[in-house]
Chain A
Amino acid sequence: MFGKQLLRRIDWVTIFLFLLLVTIGWVNIYSATLTENTGSILDFSQLYGKQLFFIGVSLVTVVIVLALEASLYERFASILYIIMIGLLLGLFVFGKTIAGATSWYDLGFFNLQPSELAKFATALALAKYLSDIQTDIKRRKDQFYALLIILIPMMLIVPQPDPGSALVFAALIFVLFREGLPLAYLWIALLLIVIFITTLMYGTAWMAIGLALLITIFLLVKKASFKVPTLPLIMFYVLAIGFSLSVNLVFNHVFEQRHRDRFSLWLRLEKDPAKLEQIRKTIGYNTYQSEKAIESGGPWGKGFLEGTRTKGDFVPEQHTDYIFSTVGEEWGFMGTAIVVLLFTLLLLRLVYLAERQKSDFSRMYGYGVISILLIHYFINVGMVIGILPTIGIPLPFFSYGGSGLLGFTILLFIFIKLDANRLNEWL
């Protein structure tokens, strides 16, 4: 099934958004990596030239992904997953270390980062397991196995060390929620995060008072027919305070100073402005510079290739994790707002596509794609604009890097292929 029929059935909106993001991404990589004595844009000794090559490779891969039989992805999901686990394990022996992390295989012309490829493999495996007729996500045992599929690659990636990439896999939990994992887990997780943050910012006492107030309000506005579960409520309250107390303990005695500094910076825990400024300029140097670069772009930006901070290399890792700051400086609010809009549209389009799938596998895989793209986009942009702590993961389709681009492209286009094939499911 390749040819006119496929071309008619694939979702051009998604492909258009994908191409737009890749193009804008490359333009900004070009600006961020351009040096004074520049050659042609096809100069493969330059980073922008290399990235152009990777884009070419990815487009070829797109053709291959679309050309393959759709049912292959479901059939080989487990095998792919096992190969990826093997590759991740192999890193401990053959891995190449770059910037302190043993995350790459040296293929001579190109360094392969298996964690990037593990993302779509895990998404496929999870979808396959969940869509199995014998799996019931309401069962504890099946919940456990589903979580295990997500946890295994995480466990292998954390010690590289690359905790940022590992965190990405956690996003696959959204697939489970979509498929019936009780939302209570989500609320509990959210609550724990809120307690964690409020305890750090205001201390246990204020957190306890705030929580008590919330419960009181909840009890006041509740329906008359609602029977107050007094005992569980009290237990919950005591547990929350216990957790809050343990937060202080963990923060002060288990965390290392560099972790504490990141939180101090993020939540503005340091009250002395001079010290805070000091942390901003040392621990928070990257974010400080990227925020300043974005800020200096103003509403309309400084113009293509006119970003003074981009040219001066002020923002570290600007062509990889901090590429969004180039958009901010050179294209201003207009540019950043458009990029945020494009990501939002792409993700919403994917949600729409996922929901229209007839096959459970396709839908679940679709949700896996969305989860992975969303968490990258959320954490990366959030970090670059200074509302999230520093976690180094790339911006999909934007950041410089071959494995990343290839991984995201395969991830996305397998879904596009599945979607194009949705009417043939019964075949």
Chain B
Amino acid sequence: MLTPPGVAGSRSLEDGAAGDPASSGAAPRRVIQGRSPWLLAFERFRRDRFALVALGVIVLIVCAAIFAPLIAAGTGHGVNTQYSTAGLTATGLPRPPSAVFPLGTDDLGRTLLVRVAYGARVSLMVGVLATLLTVTIGAALGLVAGYFGRAVDTLIARAVDVMLSIPFLLFAIALASVVSVTPLHLGPLTLGQGVPIVVLVIGIFSWATVARVVRGQVIAIRNREYIEAARAMGASSWRIIVVDVLPNVLPTIIVYATLLIPVSIVAEAALSYLGVGVPPPTADWGAMIAEAQSYYQQAWWFLAFPSIALLLTTLAFNVVGDGVRDAIDPRATGFRP
């Protein structure tokens, strides 16, 4: 049976009653098998053809990111190798797609195909890490605020209000640019311009929505009988939060996480487009689009391929996110982080 680990435990009391006869060999009688909500969700997702295609696209993009060095080896060109004679025209403009440069070259005579493939690494890495950070901070604060209530709740709710009033992009570019001049020292860590600071900036400015939603859900269930029962048995607050409350808000958290990945990818690309994200010469889609904007009249490929890659990635993640949401909560339509 396909159940994510960690959830199986809390569900085993209800589902286990139906038994696990599948392993007992050739039993001719029909056995009704319990299906966990997760299995039901998985089966619903499997029937969503649109989402499956998008998942296929994501797998391809992930492969491109992982095997970027192989793509580079295949063309024989490095990510940052500049072919100033072969890769640029006599007037110093990028070269159109050809057998030697499959997607053409960029303004410095670098191979676009290789750079687009390497760009997937930054996008996916930031997308996943920033989402993890956002969801971790948001869920932790939401759980604590919702469960404990009173002063803690007020404090966190005000913090959420403040975070939602702050213009994200302005603050993010300000913070990222400050850090690029003077690196931030966090204990043994030194954060300068690059992936870690972009992840941190996106995480800091996006947790509020997650916290608000999780808090609302926790408030709705914190006075249920089974929580009171756990309390009566002497379970500590932290145990109740982790063992009894968290599994119930987990579906919401997962839906938010899948829908936040494309948002984080776009945020990273936007920061790099504005020149405060991942510094050059790292291959990055946002930065490539910014550079290509000066050459769109002469070199459409330079603008087109990074744009297509970015658009395809966010589109695929959004379709999968919608599929996951419909699968986990079939009644919800159109809700968005």
Q: Report if A and B associate in a common complex.
A: no
Task: Using CB atoms and an 8 Å cutoff, list the residues of chain A in contact with chain B.
Answer: none
Task: Using CB atoms and an 8 Å cutoff, list the residues of chain B in contact with chain A.
Answer: none
